[in-house]
Amino acid sequence: MSKPGIVIIGSGFAGIGMAIKLKEAGYHDFVILEKAPDLGGTWRDNTYPGCACDVPSHMYSFSFDLNPGWSRMFSPQQEIWDYMRACVDKYRLGPHFRYGKHVVGLEFDDEARNWEVTTEDGAVLRANAVISGIGALHIPKFPEIKGRETFTGPAFHSSEWDHSVDLTGKRVAVIGTGASAIQFVPQIAPQVGELILFQRTPPWIQPKPDFAFPESARKALALPGASRLLRNGIYWTLETRALGFALDPRLMKVHEAMARKHLARQVPDPELRAKLTPDYTIGCKRILISSDYYPALTRPNVTLNTDGITEIRERSIVDANGVEHEVDVIVYGTGFKVTDALQEQRIIGRDGLKIQEAWQDGIETYLGITTSGFPNLFFLLGPNTGLGHNSVVFMIESQVRYVMSCLRLLSRTQARAIDVKPEHQASFNARLLERLDPLVWNSGGCQSWYLDEHGVNRTIWPGFTFEYWARTLKAKRAAFDLIY
Ligand code: NAP
């Protein structure tokens, strides 16, 4: 049994950002446990055609490691992944990685006051603190459709794209029209023989202001202060979108008008346009951006089916009108099991408290980072810290700074562990849910993965990101029980 001081789980933006800041602060006794054979989290897993970030790259990157060389306003997956690797090399994090280490259990030892971290291969580590950077979007969700397993052709999820399947000339069914599907549909549409897109709910889509940075622009962005200036401009532009999200859903009308105009301009056929027009307030689901999705749907080899699916057979999909569509390949763009990522973990805290018991009335944390009964366990991109309007990397950085502040609190007080007080957590959550209640995610008239099975929003931060930044500046001693 080895004894690192700190265990980080996951090597996406969260895990890497945390590791960089630990190292900068002089912590060297930490490991990053990564279930896969390589780093990168979602930017390693998602390799579907057209995968790119829908947040501008100059904002979707670390504020302490600006990259003037981004090729585009919205850079593709490979480039983001390369950026993450470059950060790992630059900050010499390599020796801290442990690949193929899938964490299957965390148990707090009340006697020793530290965590026992068990990985799938049976290894056990002891750690003073555990920082979970596992993210929410990595367990593929397949729809529960009768006969799904009986399909004999290739069938795969967008996040597990099977590049060995040649789609050229094939009849391909795509199920789902979310953020992933709207990126890969335009890419595969010209290649396939026939594409049937099964849409359950149309997304709101705005134009994507994407462009390549010419060499001269990249040179200019390398000048002192230039990339920072651009980043700040993007930050505040995106932040204005929170006005509608965080203050009053009626302000979303401007965004809706923009999306309607986009649809009208790109889809002349009124019948197709009607099928693509959402009936809920924009922002209730993630607002998507694309300039090539609607044109792809107007291609003669693409059909939009909105009838619903009743059954999948060996070589076909049957819609609710009883029409059987023969297909060669099925691609599932059906999203992720969001709450399972945290809730199904085997995490046992103080006095044998299971996380499922602690969260039996719903996931609750303090600032999305700590949860009562689980000392020195920190979540990055935890509950209610997701965003509909800005870059989550900004949220991750706030959380990393907060965890560093908690670690400083530990060393300052000489405590072995800190555990957030239940009353602090309760009042934080009561206020959070009260704020979320009138906002667009709850009141916009849609079903989304932001809401749990009881319709409670456990995903989104209800305000401006600078508010979150301010609230996570420093860990308040009074919010925690100190365990000596
Ligand atoms: P998603 O947004 O959850 O979309 C899933 C799609 O599948 C929805 O259209 C959904 O329809 C549909 N669906 C689910 N179950 C279905 C069923 N049984 N029958 C028919 N349709 C079904 O998933 P995603 O596109 O993978 O994106 C997930 C999240 O990943 C995004 O919200 C975003 O946060 C992130 N993402 C980000 C980027 C980026 O560029 N930054 C890119 C891709 C993804 P309903 O709407 O009716 O549920």
Same domain, 262 and 316: yes
Least confident range of 342-351, 387-396, 408-417, 428-437: 342-351
191 confidence band (pLDDT: 50, 70, 90) = very high
Structural contact between residues 30 and 101, judged by C-beta atoms closer than 8 angstroms: no
In-domain check, residue 260: yes
The confidence score (pLDDT) of residue 151 equals: 98
Tell me how many helices (H) and strands (E) the chain has.
Answer: 16, 21
In-domain check, residue 1: no
Give the type of residue at 110: D
Domain end (from 265, 297, 332)? 332
Can you tell me the mean pLDDT for 86-97? 97
Of 204, 151, 94, 139, the residue nearest 312 (C-alpha): 151
Query: What is the value of pTM for the model shown?
Result: 0.95
**CA atoms of 172 and 159, how far apart (whole Å):** 17
Distance from the alpha carbon of residue 64 to the mean position of ligand 1, in angstroms? 31
Same domain, 60 and 15: yes
Q: What is the pLDDT of residues 459-484, one digit of tens each?
A: 999 999 999 999 999 999 999 999 99
Three-state DSSP class for 411?
Answer: helix
Can you tell me the mean pLDDT for 122-130? 96
Name the domain count of the chain: 2
User: DSSP letters along 438-471, please?
Assistant: TSHHHHSS---TTB-TTS-B-SB--S-HHHHHHH
Same domain, 218 and 260: yes
Q: Which pair of tokens denotes residue 280?
A: 């809920």
Of 383, 368, 388, 459, the residue nearest 243 (C-alpha): 388
**CA atoms of 180 and 159, how far apart (whole Å):** 9
Give the type of residue at 166: D
Residue 300 has pLDDT above 70, yes or no: yes
Q: What is the pLDDT of residues 408-454, one digit of tens each?
A: 999 999 999 999 999 999 999 999 999 998 888 988 899 888 998 88
State the burial class of residue 384 (Cβ atoms within 10 Å of its Cβ: 0-12, 13-18, 19+).
buried
Query: Mutate which of 156, 177, 180 to test ligand 1's pocket (most atoms within 8 Å of Cβ)?
Result: 180
Mean of all residue pLDDT scores within the chain: 95
Three-state DSSP class for 171?
Answer: strand
Q: Which domain holds residue 161?
A: 148-225+247-332
Residue 343 has pLDDT above 80, yes or no: no
Of 140, 171, 137, the residue nearest 158 (C-alpha): 140
Can you tell me the mean pLDDT for 47-66? 98
Residue 3 has pLDDT above 50, yes or no: no
Residue 205 has pLDDT above 80, yes or no: yes
Give all strands (DSSP E) within 152-271, no chain letters: 155-157, 171-175, 194-198, 205-206
Same domain, 327 and 372: no
Query: Mutate which of 53, 137, 238 to test ligand 1's pocket (most atoms within 8 Å of Cβ)?
Result: 137
Residue 1 has pLDDT above 50, yes or no: no
Task: Report the first-to-last Cα separation within the chain, whole angstroms.
Answer: 23
In-domain check, residue 263: yes
Give the type of residue at 114: N
Same domain, 408 and 351: yes
Distance from the alpha carbon of residue 147 to the mean position of ligand 1, in angstroms? 22
Same domain, 264 and 326: yes
Same domain, 81 and 118: yes
What phi and psi values does residue 178 have, to the nearest 5 degrees?
-95, -160
Q: What is the pLDDT of residues 229-288, one digit of tens each?
A: 999 999 999 999 888 888 877 788 999 999 999 999 999 999 999 999 999 999 999 999
Same domain, 420 and 296: no
Same domain, 324 and 357: no
CATH number at residue 278: 3.50.50.60
Distance from the alpha carbon of residue 42 to the mean position of ligand 1, in angstroms? 14
Same domain, 269 and 365: no
The confidence score (pLDDT) of residue 246 equals: 82
User: What is the distance, to the nearest Å, from the Cα of residue 466 to the centroid of all Cα atoms in its chain?
Assistant: 19
Same domain, 328 and 346: no
**CA atoms of 199 and 196, how far apart (whole Å):** 9
Pocket of ligand 1 (CB under 6 A): 53-55, 137, 143, 158, 175-181, 198, 200-201, 286, 309, 333-336, 449
Contacts of 353 by beta carbon, 8 Å cutoff, 6+ apart: 373, 374
Structural contact between residues 443 and 384, judged by C-beta atoms closer than 8 angstroms: no
Give all strands (DSSP E) within 24-136, no chain letters: 30-34, 97-99, 103-109, 114-119, 124-127, 129-132
